[in-house]
Each structure stands twice: as structure tokens, then as C-alpha cells.
Amino acid sequence: MAVGRLDIKGVGFCTGTLVAPDLVLTAAHCMYNKSTGQPIDPADMEFLAGWRLGRALAYRDVRRVAIHPDYSFQAKISQNSFGYDVSLVELWQPVRNISVSPFEIGAAPKRGQKVGVVSYAQNRAEAPSLQQVCSVVNRQSDVVVMSCDVNFGSSGAPVFLFSEPEPKIVSVISAKASMNGESVAIGTTVEKAFELLQAELEAGRGIDSSALSGSGGKNVGARFIKP
């Protein structure tokens, strides 16, 4: 139930996950308007915790957004940006519900390890799904390639490692790709990025709600590439 939809101005969405009562982890590219390349005003965002079939356990407006400082949004996708495609969203009010337990962050997965992706997408926008049978097929620095099936709306979706007693988030989905004729998912590891972004928010840095105007929230979602 800590996985939810991050709705953006009512016309687009990504998947986000609570990693603290007032913090949502998602992809950095979800924070940008694809048409203009400009950051989206956090005031245009709403997190729907545990969204299922038209209802959420909690509805929270976004106060501030911290985007990885090394991430560079480009209309033309660059593989160089995948390693930094992480953002942390601060909510105006924490989600305190006994049914919602924020997830912990884990170390980057290794090649061959089994992972699971929980996401919303265009064909399952009203309820998330868990794909348990996928694995890490390659990893280079902070970028992982997985044999997972993702779609529009899967951007920012958590990648879980189940080798420990409690599942931990080890990556977020950055893009869908094709490799050797097979669909794969590109993910960004989150362990180092989370600490950095959390420090940014604690220092009062980031993009504040209503600090932007006219950026709009259209054209957001998972990206498609062919490496």
C-alpha cells in the first residue's frame, strides 16, 4: 500500500513509493514537461497512496521536489542520464495509516538476482501489479538492465529485492528498452541517490510548490528507447 500513483495536473502520472511518511521516491524525468523541458510545478502534483480502483488510502499534495543534481533532462533520451534518474518528493502532510508502511532502501542489485517491479501503467492505471519473475541481466555503475515488462506509467516504479526478510527498494524504473529483440527495463539504483536527495530536502533546497508558473504537467510517463 506504500506504492501509489503520482498524478500530475490530472493528465499524466508516474509510480511513486513512500520511503518515509512524508517522502515519495520516483524518477527524475517525471518532474519535467516533455514538450517544454521545464520542471513541473510541485503544486500540480498529488500523491495517491495505495491507489486501487478509484480510491486511495491517502491523498497528499506535494510541497517540494529534490531532483538528483547530476540529472539532465533532455527531449532526446541519453543513456548517460539513466544513472541519475531519481527524485524525492516531499509531501505537505505525512501519510500515517496503519495499512501503509514505507519501504526501506537497499543496496544495488547484482547481475542474476531476482527482482520484482510494482507499477501502474496505461493498461493497469487503476491498480498496480507485481511482476515477480524478472532478473537483473546487466549492471553498469548505477544503471541496471532487467528482464521486466514495463509500460507508460511505470516510470519511477520501485524495483524490490526479496533476498532479505523484508523487501527493499534497490532501483526505480527509468525507461523501457529493447535488447536483442526482447523487452527490458532500465533502472536507476537508489542507495546513494536517496541519501543525497534527503540531505537536499533537509537543507530546504529543491523546487518548492508554486515556485514555478506555466510549466504544466502534460506528456509525462515511461520513456521508450532502443539501446
171 and 205, same structural domain?
A: no
209 and 98, same structural domain?
A: yes
pLDDT band at 10 (very low <50, low <70, confident <90, very high): low
pLDDT band at 69 (very low <50, low <70, confident <90, very high): very high
Intra-chain end-to-end CA distance of the chain, in Å: 33
Tally of domains in the chain: 2
The pLDDT tens digits for 43-57 are 999 999 988 878 889
CA distance 159 to 21: 19
Query: Between residues 92 and 37, which one has the greater pLDDT?
Result: 92
What is the domain-level CATH number for residue 150? 2.40.10.10
Q: What's the average model confidence in pLDDT over 90-111?
A: 93
109 and 96, same structural domain?
A: no
Is 118 within a domain?
yes
- pLDDT score recorded for residue 76: 55
- pLDDT score recorded for residue 12: 84
Is residue 105 within 8 Å of residue 191, measured between CB atoms?
Answer: yes
Is 222 within a domain?
no
- pLDDT score recorded for residue 161: 92
* Domain interval for residue 36: 3-102+192-215
Is 226 within a domain?
no
- pLDDT score recorded for residue 216: 43
